[in-house]
Amino acid sequence: MELNPIPKRLRLWIKSLHFGRRSVDTRYAMLEACIIGILSSFAALLLKKGVGWLGGWRIQVAHQYPAWLVLPAIGLTFGLLAGWLLQTYSPASSGGGIPQVKAALARYPIPLSLKVAIFKIIGTTLILGAGFTLGRRAPTVHIGAALAAQLSSWIPTTPEHRRQMIAAGAAAGLAAGFNTPIAGVLFVVEELMRDVSDVTLETAIVASFTGAVVSRLLDSADLNLPASLLSDRASSFSAPEIPFYLFLGAIAGILGALFNQGMMFSFWVNRRVGLPSAWRIGAVGLVSGTIIAFLPPFFQDNSGLREFLVYGGLSWREIAIAFVAHFVLTILAYSTGAPGGLFAPALVMGSALGYLVGDMANWVSGISAESTYALAGMGAFFTAVGRIPVTAIVIVFELTTDFNIVLPLMVTCAMSYLVAESISRGSIYEHLLKTSGIKVNKQPESPRNDFLNKLTAVDVMQSQVETLESELTLDEVMLAISRSHHRGFPVVAQGKLIGIITQSDLADSNERSPTTLLKQIMTPNPITVQPDTSLSNVLYLLNRYQLSRLPVTQANKLVGIITRTDIIRSEVKQLNEGTERASKPSPSYIVYQTRSPTLGKGRILLPLANPQTAPALMKVAAAIARYHQYELECLQIIKVPKHTFPSEAYVNTQESRKLLYRVERLGRQLKVPVHTQIRVAQDRVEAILETIAEREIKLLLMGWKGSTSTPGAIFGNLVDRLVHKAPCELMLIKLGTNPYSYPKSLDLEANWLIPMAGGPNAKRAIELLPGLTSLYSRPNSPKLLLCQVYSPETPNLDCSLIEQSTDYLRQNLSLPVRPIAVRSRSVSEAIIGLANEERCNTVVLGASREGLLQHALHGNIPEAIANGIEGTAILVRGAIE
């Protein structure tokens, strides 16, 4: 019985529904950031209400029963319970949370999930409700990041996009905790991710703004600042106060650095003791409750204490006691791994320190601005602990909305940062990560350093794609697949991609009619990528959806296909290039040089290696230099091993100098300016390229032996590299074995053969002929034979090129010129035969870099010609544009 086609089509449509395209599309990132901001706000509200209710119950019980009995018992009980829950169910939820988020953003495998967020809320509620002197803002950052990570796992996203969402969640958590949206964004940029890319900033801003707005509506963010500080009259700043603010910043920097060092020492002690985290947290809860029980009653309420400190409702002795108590108890509590942060404790200690300095300033100068000093101290101590001065300034400014506080904050935070860094470098979070074996790079990560982010699909894809038309029948499809080695094919209709078909889709082909159309069995709406999609996103899609290939489309038109093999091949290429860069030799070092007057219009570089061929090459170079009014740069290279720095090598230059003395004498005889130099180098090619760049060389003239033993090379490894890399004009000369070959026996008659192939390099070879032939003393010598090789199948010969070249030479040289047209299937055999027939003692070839390197695919034509004649072979390659 034939199946109803409607359920089949419905099944294919459902199968084609996926988030594949959206997972690499950043347009949905803003909506996701809004959701993250809302979730972070509700998490901050839940945490605030939980801590407030449990803390209020604790204070109420402490008033009804003896505090010295109740507070230690509550601290021990809640501490043990929180430690046991975290140790048993979610160890990743312990600690402040900032180091975990920082490590996750640095691509370390740190768990961030809904489970982490839930147990973070429960653990932080128990710890803060027990009276630990920790804060709930850092846990809110951790919770926001964990919720963002969970949301990113539900909605398919790329790894890079997931990082950006985690950063947005952290920003939203801080904004929701403090009601400071700008500080939330700056905290991500300054401390967590150090990334200012467009998507990172945009998502962080949206999430932070949403979190702050919803948090304000829900009243889930406050620092219990008194209303008197929120007016414009609360802060003041004058020039005579600057020394006091500098003093406050210095003291805050010193004490903040000592706080960090004390924290690390306490961590070390806890590790040496080796107690389970539940017992460590419970023991500190017991100690904290006992100490607080014997302090004045206002110490039992952290929020009330904060208001007293900032508002100035305590004496300087009580404030000093509050600072010392918070200093010690915070170190004890945080070093146990209890879920709680340092933001609020740092602000409390900073406000206490600021009030003390403000009281001193009032006593010395009579200026009463203790509240301003308290706020400036908050930022200064926060800076000394976290080493994030910009975030500290903005947090306090956003909390007070008082612009008058900005200048005191800038002075104190800058001084605090400088002093703290001079004592011990790095924030408390960096030190904690180092103790865990995690090293986070301070420099922002650049995607340009990652080839998967640098390269795009269009750089790697195969543009020649085998496709199948949607109207093909099943039999035609089976036939096409059997003739191809591919296992999957894009399906197109009128040039547009509409589906994809693989061998697995044809597994039940026997059950279908042979006339079934391809569009009925294909998978419609396949996952595709754009040409500018990064390779990291392509690889993510391949892995997530277990695909072997991805079509590349532009406006629904298929432009290519990319497979895992293409990515692997690209990776291997990048690794090889990286190895070459890593093994790049050290710069060459000049140990000897001479200089003649700089009078020429350009320079010819003549590297000299063989004393036997040096005089002949010098003659040729001098002839060209004299005709074109060039100078001559003669180079001797002394090679040293790669493990020896050229600048530190001891070399003997005696033989090299003798050769250069001979060259200088010859230059004086030929009346050509000659410069000489000896370079010590690990690599001869790199030394020549450095000389070309430094001396502004116009033409590189080199000797060439005419044959090579290097497989796949045209001229040999060294010359091939120069053909490929040297930017200037290049002339290779293979000196002939014939005693009458150029530049010997210049007083005899000679014939030169110049094969023509068109292009600028052939033209340049023609232009260099006057200089090359100027060495001959006999009139009408040499005779120039211009030849062009045509295929035997060519019906009509186009001789315009050879005729134009003949006219040019006749106008510029008083030498006989004869054009010759030759038909042959082999260019090299035709040239060799003509050279031997006409007894030519010199052959001049012109070719481009691409042409020379392509010869290796069709036989080594330059080598064949050079070895097939007894005379001199000269090959000219023009400058690389």
Domain boundaries, the chain: 26-223, 230-435, 449-570, 589-703, 751-875
- DSSP string for 542-555: HHHTT-SEEEEEET
Encoded amino acid at 76, one letter: L
Q: What angle do CA 51, 55, 56 make, to 5 degrees?
A: 120
- DSSP string for 461-492: -BSS---EETT-BHHHHHHHHHT-S-SEEEEE
Confirm if 551 and 526 have CB atoms less than 8 A apart: yes
* Listed residue (334, 41, 48) closest to 171, CA to CA: 41
Give tens-digit pLDDT for 431-488: 888 887 787 766 555 444 466 777 888 888 877 677 888 888 888 888 777 777 777 8
Q: CA separation (Å) from 33 to 164, 167, 170, 190, 215?
A: 10, 10, 11, 20, 15
CA-to-CA distance for 476 and 472, rounded, in angstroms?
6
User: Residue 581 pLDDT > 60, yes or no?
Assistant: no
More confidently predicted of 318 and 427:
427
Contacts of 770 (CB under 8 A, 6+ apart): 627, 812, 813
| DSSP-assigned letter for residue 522 | S
Which CATH fold topology does 26-223 show?
A: Clc chloride channel (1.10.3080)
Tokens 């490929």 -> residue = 724
**Mean pLDDT on 355-371:** 84
Report percent pLDDT > 90 for the chain. 26
How confident is the model at residue 408, as a pLDDT?
Answer: 92
Both structure tokens of 200: 């990172």
How confident is the model at residue 760, as a pLDDT?
Answer: 62
CATH of domain 589-703: 3.40.50.620
CA-to-CA distance for 490 and 477, rounded, in angstroms?
12
* Listed residue (457, 447, 446) closest to 535, CA to CA: 457
How confident is the model at residue 217, as a pLDDT?
Answer: 85
Q: Give the N- to C-terminal CA distance of the chain in Å, as an integer.
A: 71
| Three-state secondary structure string covering 364-392 | HHCCCCHHHHHHHHHHHHHHHHHCCHHHH
Encoded amino acid at 262, one letter: G
More confidently predicted of 659 and 565:
659
CA-to-CA distance for 315 and 276, rounded, in angstroms?
40
Both structure tokens of 279: 């017992």
Q: Identify the three-state secondary structure at position 754.
A: strand
User: Residue 687 pLDDT > 80, yes or no?
Assistant: yes
CA 507 to chain centre: 44
> Does this chain's domain 449-570 share its CATH topology with 751-875?
no
How confident is the model at residue 875, as a pLDDT?
Answer: 86
Binned at pLDDT 50, 70 and 90, residue 636 comes out as very high
How confident is the model at residue 122, as a pLDDT?
Answer: 95
**Burial (CB count <10 Å: 0-12, 13-18, 19+), residue 64:** exposed
More confidently predicted of 369 and 37:
37
pTM: 0.60
Give tens-digit pLDDT for 77-88: 999 999 999 999
Binned at pLDDT 50, 70 and 90, residue 395 comes out as very high
Instruction: Report the CATH architecture of 449-570.
Output: Roll (3.10)
How confident is the model at residue 7, as a pLDDT?
Answer: 55
CA 261 to chain centre: 34
Encoded amino acid at 152, one letter: S
Contacts of 817 (CB under 8 A, 6+ apart): 783, 784, 786, 806, 809, 810
Report percent pLDDT > 70 for the chain. 85
Task: For residue 635, report the phi and psi dihedrals to the nearest 5 degrees.
Answer: -125, 130
Q: Does domain 230-435 have CATH number 1.10.3080.10?
A: yes
**Mean pLDDT on 758-763:** 63
Q: Which superfamily, per CATH, for 751-875?
A: HUPs (3.40.50.620)
Q: Rank 25-29, 685-689, 763-767 by mean pLDDT and report only the highest.
A: 685-689
Strands 817-823 and 729-734: unpaired
CA-to-CA distance for 874 and 730, rounded, in angstroms?
10
CA-to-CA distance for 747 and 781, rounded, in angstroms?
9
